Structure 1
Amino acid sequence: MYTKSLLVATFLVLGATVAITSECKMIWIFGIPCRDVYVTLVTQIKNWRNVGSCITGSQSCLYELVSTTPYVIKAKHTSPRTKFSNTFLIIFNPAEEATMCRVTGDSISDFFVDPVDSDINYCSLQNLIDGSGLSKVDGYKHFTNEYICVESHAPNCTIG
């Protein structure tokens, strides 16, 4: 009986944890080669790695480059206000033409939703694109919706 109760309690806890974990998926298209996008994003993550790059109220800091491969960047962002973090993957899908690049971003909260930074997954990804200047390149397009990125309907992503 004890084992059955323990299993039920474990499933309830795991279910509650999954229910309050936040995730965001986004797609970007850039009118420049993927190599340029890749280098720009890795450079921006490195530039925003320490707390010294924070401006009061800004989220443009505490990024950490976890790993890279030719078509994948794995990184982490920690909120300077709450210290909650999220991990994200940026996956490159080079188009047939060398002048276009399709990129997918997938961010998930590490553990649970941060009630103060409820849009942290969306903002961690989009601030990186905006802060690096990639949102201003020719051919830039951005796709997401509230079903694949719950925070995308009204984000507050001040990058300072």
Structure 2
Amino acid sequence: MLVKVTIICGFLIACAKLGLGADQTSYPQHASCKADWTFALSCTEVHHRIRDQVKAWMGPDCGDGIKCRYTKTFANSEALRAKHTTPDLKHVDVFTMVLSESDGICKLKGSSSRSAKDAVFDNGANYCAMHNLIVGSKLNEAEGYTENTGDNVCTQYSSANCDVYQPV
């Protein structure tokens, strides 16, 4: 009986990882997120605010939230690359934000991915790693602010709670 249960569990896990039995358009195949934002600000201002927020949240003190454990890995005037480690230290999400400016509007393209190759679900953590920087730096209150993402490009986006860590 134990062998049969083990085989069935293994089959179900493999199906989940391959997305079999689920709507293929629901989520990306790997725990990840793509999002676009716009602001009626210079990209220099947007870049400085995000960079400063990463620095402010570098420490390990998360309380019961997830606004901690950020590390900047690269930055220039056109892009910022960083990583976010979950409070339980089990998962690392690596993200890049690329800035482009035109006619006084800064466009920010974000892309985040869980570093574990077999990660399928993340409870929206890849989205939250980027979204929390936008909110923490108050860019969501800037004139001209828009955000564009969804479940089809952002794992578990519609069920994400970016205030509380939700272990996978």
Does the residue aligned with 2:48 lie in a helix, a strand or coil? helix
Per the TM alignment, residue 146 of structure 1 is displaced from its structure 2 partner at its CA by 1.1
What amino acid is aligned across from residue 147 of structure 1 in structure 2? N
The answer to whether the Cα contact below 8 Å between 1:84 and 1:114 also exists between their aligned partners in 2 is no
Unaligned runs of 5+ residues in structure 2 are: 1-13, 19-27
Provide, for residues 54-75 of structure 1, a one-character-per-residue CA deviation record: whole Å limited to 9, x for no partner: 2x21111000000112201000
1:34 alignment partner in structure 2:
43
Report how many residues are paired: 140
Cα deviation for residue 86 of structure 1 reads 0.5
RMSD: 2.3
Q: Of residues 67, 78, 81 in structure 2, which corresponds to 1:71?
A: 78
C-alpha distance after superposition, 1:58-112 (max 9, x if no partner): 11100000011220100000011343110000000111x1x31000000000114
Deviation at 1:114, TM superposition (A): 7.8
Match of 1:24 in 2: 33
TM-score normalized by the length of structure 2 = 0.76
Q: Distance in 2 between matches of 1:70 and 1:101?
A: 12
Contact 1:51 1:62 in 2 (8 A): yes
Map Cα deviations across residues 14-34 of structure 1 (whole Å, 9 max, x no partner). Answer: xx69x9631100000001111
- 1:59 matched to 2:44? The reply is no
Q: Which residue of 1 aligns with 2:52?
A: 43
Partner Cα separation in structure 2 for residue 144 and residue 20 of structure 1:
16
TM-superposed CA distance for 1:153, in Å, is 1.4
Match of 2:149 in 1: 144
Contact 2:92 2:115 in 1 (8 A): yes
Instruction: Give the aligned partner of residue 113 of structure 1.
Output: 119
- Ranges in structure 1 where 5+ consecutive residues have no aligned partner: 1-12
Offset, 1:113 = 2.9
Shift of 1:151: 2.0
Identity %: 27
What's the counterpart of residue 3 of structure 2? none
Runs of 4+ in 1 over 3 A off after TM superposition: none
